[in-house]
Amino acid sequence: MKHIITTEALTKRFGSEEAVSSVSLALEPGRVYGLLGRNGAGKSTLMRLLTGQEFATSGAIRVFGESPVENAGVLDRICFIKETQSYPDAFKARHVLANAPHFFRNWDQVYADRLVDLFEVPMHRHMKKLSRGQRSAVGAIVGLASRAELTLFDEPYAGLDAVARRAFYDALLADIAEHPRTVLFSTHLIDEAADLLEHVVAISHGRIVLDADADELRGAAATVAGPAAAVEEFVSRRESTGVRRLGGLATATVTSLDDSGKAAARAAGLDLTEVSLQDLVIARLGADLERADKKEVAA
Amino acid sequence: MTAVETAVAPTGLGRSRIGAVVRMHLSTPFMALGLPMLITLAVLTLNYLIWQLILLANPTLPQADPDAFIYNGGAVWIAFYLLSIAIQTMNATFRYALGMSVTRRDYLLGTGAFMLILSVVFVALYAVLGVIERATDGWGVNGWMISGFGMMDLPLWKVLLIWMGAMLIGMGLGVFYGAVFVQWRTTGVLITSILIAGAILAGVWVLTETQGWADLIELVVTATAWETAIAIVAATGLAFGVTYLLMRRAPVRE
């Protein structure tokens, strides 16, 4: 199987609003994908479509080569953890973790026990009485210990504090090294998770605006800084995310710059600095927003 | 920190998705089974105390009206309990179960199996209470709850079959309403209730117009136990079938 997930012109409308707009994706097995985007960009809807929790308006979805909708054979190999996961009122954390082995075929109880200790989850407290962070930790434990072939995290760690988030990233990194699987997770905290991501998909207004290998992205992009005229001249022949001026100086992020390009920048007296994944994504999303605004004004 | 009990993830038949849904519903057995059994015993105790109170105030009542305590609706509560628990269960567990990668079909089958287990357990409780009730001639005061509504002359198994039917219908209706609520929330429940009330009214209208009441009553009275049982199972099956049609397109709402 070449791709674990494929979508073709996938669209989801809620009334007149298009939450996911003609999305075509192909995700390879055994990689960690970051689904990035602003609030309301369509990340959660896309994930719900991929897991059969939501129904597409049009387009096609294939997960493990089949439609995920009402497909036990496909869903059996998926674990989808989201921050908004609801739990029965009477459930304590121990009920969630006692039920999970019956839902996930690769469940590792010993590992789950270790994670419970790591995240210090109060097992005998009702889920609705847990803090947001503790609820997130329960979700993270289920997501990690399920060892599903395809694991989707929809910001399940949003409530975790910085120490717990770091523990989550480290646990995920260590576990997928030992038990390779495909992970797709959405996050706002791009820099924090940057080391984890092998591939980045950015979504804005329901459309994919970036779908690229993380290393290639990082290696190819650079910020050029120097006299405004030189920067403008340099970026005029290249794809960039706009020029930011400060007096007579300016900076711009060039999204694709090979060795000869870098040499040309230096020759033009410009300084080159690396671009973080977060800056790059923000720049892409910003450019998309600008385009959307212009389109709206024109309309 | 207490870790969860170490267990190996079940495989094969032991890891049936439907079985996992049943286990999920039974995760809090006191709420599912223990509490309603206690409430049944409390209802019986309260009925008994009320009968004694009435006898205390009017010691000649058994002679004046021997049938004073044979009509009692205390046992009916369980059917309404199953109706409400089905709605509540669907609302509380549908999103959770689908979040655990369960299909809607497996969720509904598992929920139906759970409801069936509840019905069987409650009927078993009614059987025990019914035997005691008959052995004591109505708890010593000619008061009848399990064989209420004048059913003390019917064989106990028939009485239990009637209760089982009431529970299954309550559960079927509850699961149906639960699905409507999951899909369309309160507005859906209100509109559905209006439509059902309209359909019942239309049925009553037709029966009255065609003078069919006598035939209907004759049909119910002369039905054998098996015919009754089949009708109940068919009605419950229909409720589940319609529920599945509703649920197979139900999104997981946040």
The tens digit of pLDDT for each residue in A78-128 reads: 999 998 899 999 999 999 999 999 999 999 999 999 999 999 999 999 999
Give A222's strand partners: A254, A274
Using alpha carbons only, give the angle B198, B247, A83 rounded to the nearest 5 degrees: 125
pLDDT beyond 50 at B1? no
Q: Does B240 touch chain A (CB under 8 A)?
A: no
Q: What is the mean pLDDT of residues B210-229?
A: 84
* Chain A residues lying within 8 Å of B100, measured CB to CB: 99-100, 103-104
Q: How far is A88 from chain B (nearest CA, A)?
A: 5
Q: What is chain A's mean pLDDT, rounded?
A: 91
The amino acid occupying position A182 is T
Contact A90 B28 (CB under 8 A): yes
pLDDT beyond 90 at B5? no
pLDDT beyond 80 at A147? yes
Q: How far is B46 from chain A (nearest CA, A)?
A: 28
Contact A91 B27 (CB under 8 A): yes
State whether the Cα torsion B41-B47-B51-B57 is positive or negative: positive
* Residue B8 domain-assigned (yes or no): no
* Residue of chain A with shortest Cα separation from B249: A55
* Residue B105 domain-assigned (yes or no): yes
Per DSSP, the three-state class of A297 is: helix
* Cβ B194 vs Cβ B182: under 8 Å: no
Contact B4 A116 (CB under 8 A): yes
Nearest-by-Cβ selection for B99 from A80, A116, A121: A80
pLDDT beyond 60 at B11? no
Contact map slice: B 40-99 vs A, CB within 8 A:
92-93, 95-96, 98-99
Q: Which of A180, A197, A204 lies closest to A21, judged by CA?
A: A204
Size of chain B, expressed as the number of residues it contains: 254
* Residue B11 domain-assigned (yes or no): no
pLDDT beyond 80 at B221? no
Q: What is the mean pLDDT of residues B126-149?
A: 95
Nearest-by-Cβ selection for B3 from A70, A71, A117: A117
Nearest-by-Cβ selection for B4 from A89, A90, A112: A112
* Residue B230 domain-assigned (yes or no): yes
**Dist. CA A158–CA A140, nearest whole Å:** 10
**Dist. CA B99–CA A81, nearest whole Å:** 7
Q: What is the mean pLDDT of residues A159-165?
A: 91
Cα atoms in the 13 Å half-sphere on the side-chain side of A28: 9
Q: How far is B210 from chain A (nearest CA, A)?
A: 45
Domain span holding position B226? 18-44+60-247
Q: Which of B141, B163, B138, B139 lies closest to B153, judged by CA?
A: B138
Per DSSP, the three-state class of B10 is: coil
- Cα end-to-end span (Å), chain A: 44
pLDDT beyond 70 at B56? yes
Q: What is the mean pLDDT of residues B229-253?
A: 87
- Beta-carbon pairs below 8 A across chains A and B: 118
State whether the Cα torsion A185-A190-A191-A194 is positive or negative: positive
Residue keyed to tokens 């910085």: A162
* Residue B53 domain-assigned (yes or no): no
| Per-residue pLDDT reduced to its tens digit, B17-28 | 999 999 999 999
- Cα end-to-end span (Å), chain B: 31
Q: Which of A63-77, A159-173, A246-260, B99-113 has the lowest mean pLDDT?
A: A246-260
Q: How far is B214 from chain A (nearest CA, A)?
A: 47
Please count the structural domains in chain B.
1
* Residue B202 domain-assigned (yes or no): yes
Using alpha carbons only, give the angle A251, A257, A263 rounded to the nearest 5 degrees: 85
Q: Which of B57, B44, B53 lies closest to B144, judged by CA?
A: B44
Q: Which domains does chain A have, with CATH numbers?
A: 5-215 (3.40.50.300), 217-298 (3.30.70)
Size of chain A, expressed as the number of residues it contains: 299
Residue keyed to tokens 């059987």: B127
- CB neighbour class for A45 (10 Å; exposed up to 12, middle 13-18, buried from 19): buried
**Dist. CA A240–CA B185, nearest whole Å:** 48
Q: Which of A196, A61, A178 lies closest to A108, judged by CA?
A: A178
Using alpha carbons only, give the angle B86, B87, B92 rounded to the nearest 5 degrees: 95
- Do strands A58-63 and A32-37 pair parallel, antiparallel, or not at all (unpaired)? unpaired
Residue to substitute from B85, B100, B183, interface A, most A β-carbons within 10 A: B100
Contact A70 B103 (CB under 8 A): yes
pLDDT beyond 90 at A277? no
Q: What is chain B's mean pLDDT, rounded?
A: 88
Q: What is the mean pLDDT of residues B163-190?
A: 90
* Residue B254 domain-assigned (yes or no): no
Nearest-by-Cβ selection for B28 from A72, A95, A103: A95
Q: How far is B167 from chain A (nearest CA, A)?
A: 23
* Structure ipTM: 0.86
Using alpha carbons only, give the angle A208, A210, A213 rounded to the nearest 5 degrees: 130
Give Cα B47 distance to the centre of its chain: 21
Question: Which element (helix H / strand E) includes B98?
Answer: helix B77-99
Give A254's strand partners: A222, A240
